[in-house]
Structure 1
Amino acid sequence: MQQQERTEMLAAARKDLLLDRLRADGRIVAKEIAAELGLSEDSIRRDLRELDAAGLAVRVYGGALPASPAVVDYSARRAVAPDSKRRVAAAAVALIEPGATVILDGGTTALAMTDVLPKSFRGTIVTHSPTIAAALLDHDAEIFLIGGRLFKHSAVASGAAAVESANRISADLFFLGVTGIHATAGLTTGDAEEAAMKRALASRAAETYVLGSEEKFGTASRYSVLPFDAVAGIIADVAADDPTSQELTAAGVSLVPSR
């Protein structure tokens, strides 16, 4: 029993070290960390599988990336980085021209935009989120609600019916919500159908801007949404010395500061 307890303690210490590396470096290469620690790659991969299963990391080929905290359910997500979301929302609303047709994605940052958007705005808001549509009832804007199967985790419509409905609209701007913004993994979210719906909405807008609150930077989720070159910019609520924002700027990705 004592040997088993020591083994479990060693495994726990390794996982803590791996999580520290993920936070510091933004990625782990299994082969490199195994050589550094004098362990087998199989041991590191096993640790990474367990961290992935616990929602603490996202396994990718050759290693792992930090998991996004934004994949929790909708109600819990509202308590994550609320001040950052409000700053992003204000910067996003500043990009909207009078009379524009705007697609608002689901999510809590897009919901924060409804608090900032002037009630006198007379354009059109298109959304697949009943929560956002309800928040706009007192606004003068025309509201178009896309229907379909309700994905309760994010409180949005998705699936074939929603995509078909989205394909009938055209808009000036789309404000895209993601759960992860990572220089290597790109723009990601936690559900395959939701990712497909986001791509459908982006295809219907002249310009797409990513709502980038601070907790999303340097993290990744399971499913890719869009490449960076498919968006007009990322509304970024991070410090100038944030490693991910520096990598993205160096790669030519446009960042719109919200601070």
Structure 2
Amino acid sequence: MLTSQRKKLILDALKRDGQVLAKALSDTFGVSEDTVRRDLRELAAEGKLQRVHGGALAASPAVANLAGRRAIGSKAKAAIGRAAAQMIAPGQIAFVDGGTTAIQLVRHLPIDLRATIVTHSPSVAVELAEHEALEVIVIGGRLFRHSMVTVGAAAIEALGHIRADLYFMGVTGVHREAGLSTGDLEEAYVKRALVARAAETVVLASSEKLNAASAYMIAGIDAASAILVEKDTPESTTAPFEASGVTILRA
């Protein structure tokens, strides 16, 4: 079997099953595990999968640049953002992450909502400029341009002084075993700090992020109080998360 054929079959299996094991692939293809591992390394270098111990997981396309992410699932993100916005009650304090789905969330907030939004995303803060009834707190730090959020020690220190009712988390990967993940180490640290300071964490997850993984783990799947997905997401996709005790909300 040609290398290109093996790689196609590996990607087909990832799309179907969400993960592959090097030993099983070695048996299926009749080649050594070293050969399979080389295939996995090359596919990982192309950004087509995320290697883990013993095999690989599907890679999330949500690690693309900001312009690229805006083009992925825009209708689904708008629906998820609209549903998330309805979860914020008057008087509550909510952490709102950065990213394209978070932008949709704040765009759907009622103009007369009286609440407090805490964000480390300058883009989210700008979207709220006309919401005079909202208290908007912007967390400072080093600007991570890929996601247009602040990261670093200054951001984490500031978050340590705030307690929120809700945290709306953006991720690039949601996987039962690999947990909640993102493509940048410092961003993962900030998200972890946000989880620790919120009573409930709601993960905003359009379909391309489900059963996918990125390099840096934020937390296990049990850190999520709920995962908000698009309404037509198959139950077979969400069932593993529900089996882990996470509530699935549909937009």
Task: Please tell me the TM-score bracket, short chain as reference.
Answer: over 0.9
Distance of 1:177 and 1:224 partners within structure 2: 13
> Which residue of structure 2 lines up, in the alignment, with residue 237 of structure 1?
230
Contact conserved, 1:182 with 1:244, CA < 8 A, in 2? Answer: no
TM-score, L = length of structure 2: 0.96
Distance of 2:41 and 2:61 partners within structure 1: 18
Q: Pick closer, same or farther for the CA change 1:63–1:225 going to 2, 3 Å.
A: same
Distance of 2:24 and 2:225 partners within structure 1: 36
Unaligned runs of 5+ in 1: 1-6
Contact conserved, 2:6 with 2:29, CA < 8 A, in 1? Answer: no
SS in 2 for 1:249: helix
- Where do 1:74-93 residues align within 5 Å? 74-93=66-85
Counterpart pick for 1:223 among 212, 216, 219:
216
Counterpart pick for 1:50 among 42, 46, 56:
42
Compute the RMSD of aligned alpha carbons. 1.3
- Where do 1:110-149 residues align within 5 Å? 110-140=102-132, 141-149=134-142
Distance of 1:191 and 1:185 partners within structure 2: 15
Instruction: Kindly provide the amino acid, as one letter, of the partner of residue 87 in structure 2.
Output: L
Contact conserved, 1:207 with 1:232, CA < 8 A, in 2? Answer: yes
Contact conserved, 1:183 with 1:244, CA < 8 A, in 2? Answer: no
Distance of 2:234 and 2:111 partners within structure 1: 36
Displacement, 1:244?
3.1
Question: How many residues end up aligned between the 2 structures?
Answer: 250
Distance of 1:169 and 1:115 partners within structure 2: 24
Distance of 1:57 and 1:51 partners within structure 2: 6
SS in 2 for 1:235: strand
The 4+ residue runs of structure 1 with deviation greater than 4 A are none
Bigger Rg, which one = 1
> Which residue of structure 2 lines up, in the alignment, with residue 100 of structure 1?
92
> Which residue of structure 2 lines up, in the alignment, with residue 64 of structure 1?
56
Say yes or no: does 1:19 pair with 2:18.
no
Unaligned runs of 5+ in 2: none
